[in-house]
Chain A
C-alpha cells in the first residue's frame, strides 16, 4: 500500500479554484462587488465612528492616571456633565491608602469669541493645575497657561476662532491672551481651551457650574471600590469612564451596532453565496472524490477560492474607503487609520471565511459513489 499512500494530493490546491474563478467570473465579480460595497459601508461607518469618537473623547483620553474619579449620586450614573467634586472629596482621595497623586481637573462647556468679534463658537474649558505631578509630555497638560489671564488653545479652537498666539479671546465676558496653540483636542464635539484652575472656576460659575473640579485623575494602587462609595464617587479606568459621556455613548452605541450588523450581513451574504455555489458543483466534487481527491484538498480549494474573492472585494472596498474617506474628512469628522480600515477588513475576512466554511458541509458530505451513473 506504500505506493498508494505516497501521493499527498496537496498539489491539487487551487488548481480547480482558479479556473472556476475565471470560468464563472460574472458570478464571482458580483459577490466580489457585494463584498467591496459592504467593506465600503463598514469602512465609512468605522471612519465616521472614529471621527465622532475623536471629537468626543480625544481630550479625555489625555487625562493622566490609573483611574478617573467622578461624582456618583445614589439615583444616577456618573456623568462628566454633572460631576462636581468638592475639596473634602479631593482630600479624602489624597489621603486614601495606595493613592500616589491626585490631579483635579475641571471641565465645562461654554462659548468663546475672538476679541472684537461676535462670532462665538462652542468650546470645552479645561481647568488644569500647572504643577500636576508625575505627568510627562502630555498634549492636554502642555496647553496649561501660567497666569489666570492666559489660555492655551487646541488647534481646532484656534482655527475656529481665527486666532493665534498673542491674540486675545473672550470667554464668559473676560478676556484671555492666547499663549499656546497645541494639538487638536476635543471634548463632546467642542474644541478644547485650557485655563488655570482659578480662571476655570470663575468661568464655570459664570456658566452655571459649581466651580469645583469635575474629575480627579488619580495614580496609585488603591482599593478603588472601597473608597468610592464612602466619598460619593466612582473610580473608573480611563476607557470605562468614557461611558460617562452621554453623547459618546449614544453615538458610538448606535454606530457600533450598525457596524456589527454589517459584519453579520457580510458573513451571511458570503456564506449564502458559497453555499449555493458549492451545492451547484456538488456533482463535480463527487467526481473529483471518485477520481482520488481528498476531502482535505477539496476543502482547502474551496476556502482558498473564498479567500481570493474576499481579499479582492475587501481590497477594492478599502481603496474606496481611503479615497472617499480623505474627501469626506474635509467635511465630516472622519478618521482613516488602521483601526478604522484594516481592523474591520480583517474582521470581514474572518467572518466571510466563516460563512464560506459553513458551505463546506456540501464538500465534506459529497459521496463519490454518486459520480457513478450520474447524468451530468
Chain B
C-alpha cells in the first residue's frame, strides 16, 4: 500500500515559489493500478517523484507498507530513502532507461544486486527471480540481447521486469506507453496490470493517454497540482 497524505510541493521561481503539488491525498492499494492523469505541467510527474522519494515534499506524508511495517518515506534521510527505493519501491520510467552496456538479463541482475547482499543462497534466489520475470514479460529468448537489439516494446517490458525483480511493495510507472504505438501500448498496460495483481503490488501509474484506462483500477485527474475529484481516487473500471 502507498498513501500520499496531504502532499504539498513547491519549487523556487525567482523571488517566489510555484506550487507543483497542492495538498494532494491519494491511496494506492495492494494489487491495484491507480492511474494519475492530467494535462502537461499539471503536477502528475511531481507526485510520482515525491512517491519515489526522489524529492522531499514541503509538507505531508508518504506512507508505504502495511500495518506495523508502514513508514513515512517523506521523513527519511537521503541514504535511507535510497535504501527504501532499493528495497521496497520499483520504478518504470517514461523511456525504458536501460543501461546500454547490459543485456536484458543483466538489466534485472543489476537491480537484484542493488537490493541484496552477496550470500550465495540469496543470489540464487535473485537469479531465479530474474528468470521468472523474464518469462513473465515473455522475453526469455531475448535475455542475452542489449537494449539496442530490442524493440521499444521489448525494452519497456524489460524495464517493467526490472521494476519488479526485487519484489517491491510499490511500483511507480511514468508514462509507460508514450514511446509506443497503440497496440504495443495496450500490451504494456495489460502486462503492468497483470503483474500488479499477481504480485499484490500497489501501482501508481502516470499517463496522459486514457485509451488504456480500462486496465486501471482507479483514476485521478490532476490539474494545477490538485486532484479535481474531491474523493481523491475515483474508480474507473470494475474488474
Contact = CB atoms under 8 A, between A and B. Distances in A.
B86 A7 contact: yes
B92 to A, nearest CB: 11
B95 A291 contact: no
A67 interface: no
B91 interface: yes
Contacts of A283: 97
A290 B101 contact: no
Interface stretch (B16-24, B49-57, B213-221, B223-231): B49-57
Interface of A, helix, strand, loop or mixed by DSSP: helix
A23 B100 contact: yes
Contacts of A368: 54
B49 to A, nearest CB: 6
Given A4-B87, A12-B114, A374 B97 contact: yes
Interface in A276-300: 283-284, 287-294
B106 interface: yes
B102 A16 contact: yes
A288 B98 CA distance: 10
A19 interface: yes
A8 B117 contact: yes
Contacts of B174: 372-373
B80 A4 contact: yes
Interface string B29-59: 0000000000000000100110010110000
B130 interface: no
B84 A372 contact: no
Given A7-B117, A287-B99, A291-B114, A373 B94 contact: yes
Contacts of B54: 290, 368-369, 371-372
Given A1-B71, A1-B76, A292-B86, A7 B116 contact: yes
Contacts of A226: none
A23 B80 contact: no
13 contacts: A5-B83, A11-B113, A23-B146, A287-B99, A289-B82, A291-B114, A293-B114, A294-B79, A369-B49, A371-B91, A372-B52, A372-B54, A372-B93
Interface of A: 1, 3-12, 15-16, 19-20, 22-24, 283-284, 287-294, 368-369, 371-376
Interface of B: 45, 48-49, 52, 54-55, 69, 71, 76, 79-80, 82-89, 91, 93-95, 97, 99-102, 106, 109-111, 113-118, 146, 162, 174
